[in-house]
């Protein structure tokens, strides 16, 4: 083990200073340093020897960073205030969700759209979503983020593009939820400006004028966007899709994003209907359109990216763009299978997203890892798509897609964002290798989740959250919304 791995070069203090292991379910990061000791396995990345972290890792709860990786056969070199017995846990970096629509938890499994493809699904749901209120959005966001958190997710990107009358401060509402739950979030100020009367897909009551959108986008960055390591809330710009925003708004959003140094996000190449729309309206394929509006660059991450041809994949790679692969949603809406392996091999950063809870109908990122493994194996075979590879998509790949290098990896100096999964119960009985078991046997809930050195999930439940009350209020709001 190198001095860098130890985190404190030359230190000779040992961890035997009276610290005693405590059961994982009872541990709290009350001490300044916490040793997550002797885990079943630690995911350090697909090409990293797991024995490098055979004895676990040490977290400084005060700074919220990982301060030491403890190799097999070694002891920590820093004083340890608390020891967490992790012998029954697989430890991963906190999972990172790169695409979601939090508000959609209110319209899960709604019968009128249960069996429709994207365009029919959207046109039936737009009028329902237009009735969103601030309270409905607050409940929907809380449910989505809590569900993500309990699946091992520590950072989530949301794409919110609906701002009906009375919901002008939608992103402000979401910021409040993020801070209450203690998660990290990339909240994108989405938009729709091309309504039905002008040839777009959304009804007129769901669109806004471009100047209103751009002014609010600037306000949100100035009010909430945090920069640098450890940022909790970040803002991005996210015109919804080619079929719901004007070309001018796409261009102006790109210019403003460059001026304010924030990221850009949109749906692209999700379905063949979208490709046909771009051909008919713009005379361009989707990536040609993206380039024509100034979006083909490393500031951009795209949701779905199912229908790219060979040349487009190469162009995206050369540009340094990223793609949020959303396998469950793409299967649910029969959109197709993204060429994720080819995208990554071409230099495109690949992350994972659960997409909205009305086209996935869940907000579980660990489940999405398993779906990604299986659907990509259908295209590329088992040897090319390993459990380690898809875990990388959900961690380091997703972090890079959001423009972050302080999260998504278990390394000295990185943020202490961690997920701990137990491999007990009937579904794991007889499993042998912990990392493949985590994915193949279908882990769905984390036992413990840490964000910035603080426990946010204990015993599988988000800390400080009244689940029963939240579910009751959320269900009532969901019923009200679809009733009209």
Report pLDDT digits (tens) over 422-476. 999 999 999 999 999 999 999 999 999 999 999 999 999 999 999 999 999 999 9
Q: Are residues 397 and 425 in the same domain?
A: no
Q: Would residue 475 count as lying in a domain? A: no
pLDDT of residue 227: 98
Per-residue confidence (pLDDT) for residue 2, from 0 to 100: 39
Cα–Cα distance, 279 to 275 (Å, whole number): 6
CATH of the domain at 446: 2.30.40.10
Domains identified in the chain, total number: 2
What's the pTM value of the predicted model, to 2 decimals? Answer: 0.93
In a domain, 466, yes or no: no
- 270 occurs within a structural domain: yes
Listed in sequence order, the residues at least 6 apart from 342 whose beta carbon sits closer than 8 Å to its beta carbon are 313
Is 147 in the same domain as 285?
yes
The answer to whether residues 246 and 389 belong to one domain is: yes
| Domain co-membership, 86 together with 115 | no
Residues 447, 334 within the same domain: no
Return the percent helix, strand and coil in the chain, to nearest 5.
40, 20, 40
Please check whether residues 264 and 339 belong to one and the same domain.
yes
Dmax (CA) for the chain in angstroms is 72
Q: Are 100 and 87 contained in the same domain?
A: no
CA 324, CA 405: separation in Å to the nearest integer?
A: 17
Q: What letter does residue 94 receive in the DSSP assignment?
A: P
Residue 245's domain comprises 95-401
CB 357 within 8 A of CB 363: yes
So what's the pLDDT on residue 484?
Answer: 84
Q: Which residues of the chain have pLDDT under 70?
A: 1-31
483 part of a folded domain: no
Helices (H), 130-193: 134-150, 170-181
Q: Which element (helix H / strand E) includes 419?
A: strand 418-422
Considering the domain architecture, whether residues 179 and 322 belong to the same structural domain is answered as yes
The answer to whether 447 and 89 have CB atoms below 8 angstroms apart is: yes
- Same-domain pairing of 420 and 390: no
Termini Cα distance of the chain = 62
How many C-beta neighbours within 10 Å does residue 426 have? 7
Q: What pLDDT is attached to residue 47?
A: 83
182 and 67 in a single domain? The answer is no
Question: In the prediction, which pLDDT does 205 show?
Answer: 87
Distance from C-alpha of 286 to C-alpha of 154, rounded to nearest angstrom: 32
Asked whether residue 100 is assigned to any structural domain, the reply reads yes
Q: What is the phi/psi pair of residue 471, to 5°?
A: -65, -45
Residues 304 and 290 in one domain: yes
> 465 in a domain, yes or no?
no
CATH number assigned to the domain comprising residue 138: 3.20.20.140
For residue 474, tell me if it sits in a domain: no
Handedness of CA 84, 89, 94, 99 (dihedral sign): negative
| Residues 78, 127 share a domain | no
Residues in the chain: 484
Task: Please indicate, yes or no, if residue 50 is contained in any of the structural domains.
Answer: yes
């Amino acid at each position: 083990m190198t001095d860098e791995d130890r985190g404190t070069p030359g230190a000779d203090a040992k961890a035997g200073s009276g610290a005693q292991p405590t059961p994982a379910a009872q541990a709290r990061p009350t001490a300044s340093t916490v040793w997550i000791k002797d885990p079943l396995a630690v995911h350090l990345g697909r090409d990293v020897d797991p024995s490098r972290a055979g004895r676990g890792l040490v977290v400084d709860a005060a700074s919220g960073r990982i301060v030491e990786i403890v190799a097999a056969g070694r002891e920590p070199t820093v004083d340890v205030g608390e020891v967490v017995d992790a012998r029954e846990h697989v430890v991963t970096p906190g999972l990172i969700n790169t695409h979601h629509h939090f508000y959609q938890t209110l319209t899960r499994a709604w019968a009128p759209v249960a069996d429709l493809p994207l365009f029919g699904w959207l046109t039936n749901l737009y009028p329902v979503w237009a009735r969103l209120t601030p309270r409905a959005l607050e409940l929907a966001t809380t449910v989505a983020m809590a569900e993500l958190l309990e699946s091992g997710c520590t950072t989530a990107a949301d794409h919110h593009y609906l701002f009906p009358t009375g919901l002008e401060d939608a992103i402000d509402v979401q910021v409040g939820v993020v801070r209450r739950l203690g998660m990290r979030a990339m909240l994108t100020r989405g938009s729709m400006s091309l309504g039905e009367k002008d040839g777009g897909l959304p009804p007129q009551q769901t669109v806004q004028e471009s100047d209103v959108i751009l002014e609010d986008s600037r306000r949100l960055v100035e009010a909430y966007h945090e920069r640098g390591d450890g940022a909790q809330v970040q803002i991005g710009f996210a015109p919804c899709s080619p079929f719901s925003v004007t070309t001018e708004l796409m261009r102006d959003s790109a210019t403003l994003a460059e001026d304010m140094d924030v990221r850009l996000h949109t749906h692209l190449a999700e379905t063949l209907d979208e490709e046909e729309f771009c051909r008919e309206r713009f005379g361009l394929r989707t990536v040609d359109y993206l380039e024509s509006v100034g979006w083909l660059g490393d500031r951009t991450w795209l949701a779905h990216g199912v229908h790219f041809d060979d040349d487009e994949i190469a162009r995206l790679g050369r540009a340094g763009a990223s793609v949020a692969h959303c396998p469950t949603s793409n299967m649910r809406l029969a959109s197709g299978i993204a060429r994720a392996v080819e995208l990554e091999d071409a230099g495109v950063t690949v992350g994972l997203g659960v997409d909205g809870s009305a086209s996935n109908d869940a907000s579980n990122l660990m489940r999405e890892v398993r779906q990604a493994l299986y659907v990509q194996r259908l295209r590329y075979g088992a040897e090319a798509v390993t459990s380690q590879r898809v875990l990388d998509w959900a961690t380091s790949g997703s972090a890079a897609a959001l423009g972050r290098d302080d999260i998504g990896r278990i390394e000295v100096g990185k943020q202490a964002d961690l997920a701990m999964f137990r491999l007990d119960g009937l579904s794991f009985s007889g499993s042998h290798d912990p990392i493949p078991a985590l994915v193949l046997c279908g882990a769905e809930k984390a036992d413990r989740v840490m964000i910035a050195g603080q426990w946010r999930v204990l015993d599988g439940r988000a800390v400080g959250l009244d689940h029963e009350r939240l579910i009751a209020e959320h269900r009532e709001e969901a019923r009200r919304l679809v009733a009209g």
